[in-house]
Amino acid sequence: FTITTWFRIDPVANGVIEKEKPYLYWFCTSKGHGYTAHFVGNCLVISCSKLKEKAFQHCIQYEFKPREWYMITFAHQYQRWAKSSIHCYINGQLVSNAYFPWSIESGDLFDKCYIGCTPDRNDLTSFSGQLSTFYLFSLDLEP
């Protein structure tokens, strides 16, 4: 599947950057399997969790500047017999590839989906900025 959107980050007044982890998205199945993307400092972290205790994270180093617009695309490639991958494009340029030792079954429904926050919706994990239309395609699309 593919996720693509335009976003801009606005700094939070009186925010503590070391504690903030604003989420772009948080998609999870009823089994607790899911995919997330969140910021930690100047790093965008994408993760894939199979079980609560089994997760894989990948850090994308990119100089995201406050109040600037970015187009981001995550192309998830499911491989049945090999490692699955996520390709990250920023402004149309491939900036990172992450290979996951497992992937979530394509038939599983993501029934807990959040854009710009996590299920607990607290200030430390809520996205501060602007998001344009959030596209989610069932196919692996690449620019």
Chain centre distance of CA 93: 17
The yes-or-no verdict on residue 117 having pLDDT over 70 is yes
Q: Are 85 and 94 in contact (CB under 8 A)?
A: no
Query: Helical H runs in 49-116?
Result: none
Provide the whole-model pTM: 0.84
Q: Are 98 and 27 in contact (CB under 8 A)?
A: no
Work out the mean pLDDT of the chain and round it to a whole number: 84
The yes-or-no verdict on residue 115 having pLDDT over 80 is yes
Nearest one of 87, 90, 75, 86 to 8, comparing CA atoms: 90
pLDDT tens-place string over residues 19-66 = 778 999 999 888 878 889 999 887 899 988 876 667 788 999 898 888
Distance (Å, whole) CA 112 – CA 39:
20
Which domains does the chain possess?
Answer: 2-12+19-136 (2.60.120.200)
State the pLDDT at residue 11. Answer: 75
7: confidence class by pLDDT, cuts 50, 70, 90: very high
Query: What does residue 63 show for φ and ψ, rounded to 5 degrees?
Result: -85, 85
pLDDT tens-place string over residues 61-81 = 898 888 899 999 999 887 766
State the pLDDT at residue 79. Answer: 72
